[in-house]
Chains A and B, each alone.
Chain A
Amino acid sequence: MSTLVFVESADGKIKKTSLEAVAYAHALKNSVTAIALGSVEQAELESLGKYGAQKVLHASDSKLNAGVIQAYASVLVKAMQDENADVLVLANSSLGTPIAARVAARIGASLASNVVEVPDTSAGFVVKRSIYTGKAFAKVELKNPRKVIGLKKNAAEAKEVGGTVSVTPYAVSLADADFAVTITSSEKATGEVLLPEANIVVSGGRGMKGPEHWSILEELARTLHAATGCSKPVSDMGWRPHHEHVGQTGVKVAPQLYIAVGISGAIQHLAGVNSSKCIVVINKDAEAPFFKAADYGIVGDAFDVIPKLTEAIKAAK
């Protein structure tokens, strides 16, 4: 019995959510094999041992440098067989979630995505999933011998439990059918903190009055090493790009700290932020419904409060 963990990387670095996936697998108390595909830094792979991987496989075939979902799914299915793994754990993402679907369907595994905590195995194998866009949870028993588990951010804490491990090259044979979808190009924000993975998010709403005022939020975000987000009206009006839209039909975030500036707090927006550990709301309208969902609130003018807050954080560092 062993657990396979698919680790995702960006620019050669393992994503934090994938370290959480390794930690989650470690908590299942079976042997843990991590597998990375495409181009990843060697030292990053070796460090997976610290988080609980006993073995690290690296399929470095250059055809896998781009995240082709079907090809990745095929490699993971084969790796599960080779490693005699009965559980696959991965982080939910634009890559991980579709891969989980295809792997589970191909091997006949019980599948759960958006899992928020380590399973209860006292009677069967029961996972807790986030549903209704964070408004509720479901406890679901995974009954098949093989299981595929997709994790929501913060499902496990990535902490050091061991030392580095050596990396085993993993040879793959890829079929043309695995590349039926071709990636012709991609656009990716570089050098920024990515919203879905950020520990701190600074978000702006209509109260910011226009895209030209975003610089004060960006300055605050830089100071906090945070990602910037926005409400739906803001992305609908084209003030900010769509991938920054936080909410029910946009990105769901789960940071340690969410700072909402000039956002009234429509229920659809709250659905995207309700997994945040701590919420700060800054709004000049004391009646804004967002205050009811906040941990800390300031009634005030963003253009006055935000620069002062940025300075106060710099001073406290």
Chain B
Amino acid sequence: MKILVCITHVPDTTSKINFTDNNTKFDPAGVQFIIGPYDDYALARAIEIKEASGATVTVLNVGPVETEPTIRKALAIGADDAIRVNAEPTDSFFVAAQIAEHAKGYDLILMGRESIDYNSGVVHGIVGEMLGIPSVSPVMKLEIDGTKAKLAREIEGGKEYLEVSLPFVAGCQEPIAEWKIPNMRGIMSARTKPLKVVDPKAVDSGVALQKFELPAPKGSVKMISADNVTELVTLLKNEAKVL
């Protein structure tokens, strides 16, 4: 079995977000980059499948050369080889088109339910449509049984259990697998695993970023005494008007 895991290279979840160049570029100063947390779940599940029943795991990232340490980390966790599409991941459609270009021939295409930078949550669906195969997201359980898979998908207030034949695309989230931490042997071997760099396919995605914005700063908190909860109720009713 051949598994493709698509990973994003995103600011750590604790990052403060800032922009430069008149609010048109993300400011990476002081930001630590990680494998997208949802992508990390997808990768962990792929490695589990590989360890349980044998599979090759390829990671794919659309990004500039700065993402290579993140890709090497995925190799250290246990992926066999990697592809980096040498381009800025500007929008969902562009990224999906690059993935679709390299995803043919894989039995399973896994990624996170969404990237934690642009939060679109649509790349898996677009890739599925481009390849003419099913897509399922957000997947919280994935069991392979021969040429079929049994999945659980999170829905509002519950879960849905699904069956689908391979190949398909899945957008993953917890608790599909436990995150894996690379060990020293993994880190050493990752240095020599193949990382292929390819040029992007030209794509007109029909969207253009104009500007970033930060939310308006929050006013200061109004503290209320624990002995006076009726005051809180009055404020919520008459001042905040939310009751």
Q: Which of B187-217 contact A (CB under 8 A)?
A: 205-215
- CB pair A278 B242 closer than 8 Å: yes
Closest to B125 in A: A101
- CB pair B134 A70 closer than 8 Å: yes
- CB pair B126 A104 closer than 8 Å: yes
A313: interface (CB < 8 Å): yes
B206-243 interface bits toward A, Cβ cutoff 8 Å, 1 = contact, 0 = none: 11111111110011011111100110111111001011
Distance in angstroms between the alpha carbons of A156 and B115 in the assembled complex:
25
Q: A248-B13, A304-B226, A308-B229 are in contact. Are A316 and B126 (CB under 8 A)?
A: no
- CB pair A298 B156 closer than 8 Å: no
User: Known pairs A137-B214, A291-B223. 17 more at Cβ < 8 A?
Assistant: A99-B125, A102-B125, A130-B119, A136-B17, A137-B212, A143-B206, A143-B208, A180-B168, A196-B156, A197-B156, A224-B243, A249-B37, A257-B240, A271-B13, A278-B236, A292-B218, A298-B224
Name the contact of A292 in the complex, choosing from B123, B153, B212, B221 (C-beta under 8 A): B221
Nearest 5 pairs of A and B residues by beta carbon: A101-B125, A300-B226, A101-B122, A188-B158, A144-B206
- CB pair B120 A132 closer than 8 Å: no
B138: interface (CB < 8 Å): yes
Question: Which A residues touch B33, using CB under 8 A?
Answer: none
> What are 8 A-B interface contacts by the 8 Å CB criterion?
A10-B156, A69-B136, A94-B155, A98-B122, A112-B120, A257-B243, A277-B242, A292-B218
A192: interface (CB < 8 Å): yes
Question: Which A residues touch B182, using CB under 8 A?
Answer: none
A187: interface (CB < 8 Å): yes
Question: Which B residues touch A313, using CB under 8 A?
Answer: 233, 243
A93: interface (CB < 8 Å): yes
A261-287 interface bits toward B, Cβ cutoff 8 Å, 1 = contact, 0 = none: 000000110010010011011000000
Q: A183-B161, A312-B230 are in contact. Are A295 and B219 (CB under 8 A)?
A: yes
A47: interface (CB < 8 Å): no
Question: Which A residues touch B224, using CB under 8 A?
Answer: 296-298
- CB pair A93 B135 closer than 8 Å: no
Distance in angstroms between the alpha carbons of A183 and B134 in the assembled complex:
13
Question: Which B residues touch A150, using CB under 8 A?
Answer: 122
Closest to A192 in B: B157
- CB pair A243 B240 closer than 8 Å: no
- CB pair B119 A114 closer than 8 Å: yes
- CB pair A101 B37 closer than 8 Å: no
Distance in angstroms between the alpha carbons of A315 and B232 in the assembled complex:
13
Question: Which A residues touch B137, using CB under 8 A?
Answer: 97-98
Interface centre among A180, A192, A257 (most CB of B within 10 A): A180
Name the contact of B116 in the complex, choosing from A132, A224, A277 (C-beta under 8 A): A132
Name the contact of B215 in the complex, choosing from A137, A141, A298 (C-beta under 8 A): A137
Q: A296-B221, A312-B233 are in contact. Are A180 and B134 (CB under 8 A)?
A: yes
Q: Which of B44-102 contact A (CB under 8 A)?
A: 91-93, 96
Distance in angstroms between the alpha carbons of A316 and B205 in the assembled complex:
53
Q: Is the interface of A mostly helix, strand, loop or mixed?
A: mixed
Closest to B225 in A: A298
Q: A181-B163, A274-B215 are in contact. Are A295 and B243 (CB under 8 A)?
A: no
B143: interface (CB < 8 Å): no
Question: Which B residues touch A301, using CB under 8 A?
Answer: 226
Name the contact of B232 in the complex, choosing from A130, A192, A298, A299 (C-beta under 8 A): A298
B107: interface (CB < 8 Å): no
Count of A residues near B, CB < 8 Å? 94
| A247, chain B: closest CB distance, angstroms | 9
Q: A102-B135, A139-B210, A140-B208 are in contact. Are A131 and B117 (CB under 8 A)?
A: yes
A104-133 interface bits toward B, Cβ cutoff 8 Å, 1 = contact, 0 = none: 111011111110000000000010111111
- CB pair B207 A141 closer than 8 Å: yes
| B231, chain A: closest CB distance, angstroms | 9
| B140, chain A: closest CB distance, angstroms | 7
Question: Which B residues touch A114, using CB under 8 A?
Answer: 119-121
- CB pair B222 A296 closer than 8 Å: yes
A294: interface (CB < 8 Å): yes
Question: Which A residues touch B92, using CB under 8 A?
Answer: 101, 111
Q: Which of A75-115 contact B (CB under 8 A)?
A: 92-95, 97-102, 104-106, 108-114
Distance in angstroms between the alpha carbons of A114 and B207 in the assembled complex:
15
Closest to B140 in A: A242
| A217, chain B: closest CB distance, angstroms | 15
- CB pair B242 A316 closer than 8 Å: no
Q: A184-B162, A296-B236 are in contact. Are A105 and B215 (CB under 8 A)?
A: no
Question: Which B residues touch A111, using CB under 8 A?
Answer: 92-93, 120, 122, 126, 206-207
A293: interface (CB < 8 Å): yes
B130: interface (CB < 8 Å): yes
